Amino acid sequence: MQQYKVPQDVQREDTIIGPLTLKQLGILGIGGGIAYGIYISLAKSYPMAIWLPPMVIIIAITLAFAFLKIHNLDFVTFIMAYTEFNFLPKKRIWIQGSGYPFISPFETPYKEQKKKELTRKMGAKIESLKELSRVLDTHGGIDEAETPPSPEEKNN
């Protein structure tokens, strides 16, 4: 029998360049592009004290989105969960019967007709089952106790 190598960590994303995944490369490319654009537009006409803080903030946010994990969640998922936690109510109140939808006690004529038809069909099925049960119980013969009375017996 041939042996095959079974991957152990199938949840991990594939690495593209070194330890970086495609998602991390995309985040770094977009964040780096924005930071570089700010540098190009502000560095020519302003001193370093003006263009450096926005670049540092954008680079820090980019690195957080690309590499930071909090409670084994990536930063985007953590921010979304944190936002959801802050917007949803912290205390839930249970009100008995509040989840039941309104159901009309009146039936439409169509439903009544369907119910009658279903009852009739079920009655026919029950009768055919009784007949089948009788045939099986008597092994295909006619049971004397269940034979219909003859016309002579009816007159007497």
* The predicted structure's pLDDT at residue 155: 59
The candidate with the shortest Cα–Cα distance to 53, out of 69, 61, 75, is: 61
Both tokens of 123, joined, read 């009655």
Q: Which residues pair with 20 in a beta bridge?
A: 17
How many Å apart are CA 141 and CA 129, to the nearest integer?
Answer: 17
User: Nearest 10 degrees: CA dihedral of 17, 23, 28, 31?
Assistant: 160
* The predicted structure's pLDDT at residue 3: 85
* The predicted structure's pLDDT at residue 11: 78
- What is the mean pLDDT of each successive set of 10 residues along the chain, which is 156 residues long? 80 86 94 95 92 95 95 92 91 73 67 83 87 84 59 57
* The predicted structure's pLDDT at residue 131: 87
- Strand spans (E) along the chain: 15-17, 20-21, 69-70, 73-74
How many Å apart are CA 24 and CA 63, to the nearest integer?
Answer: 9
* The predicted structure's pLDDT at residue 70: 93
* The predicted structure's pLDDT at residue 140: 74
* Sequence-distant (≥ 6) Cβ neighbours of residue 20 within 8 angstroms: 28
* The predicted structure's pLDDT at residue 105: 67
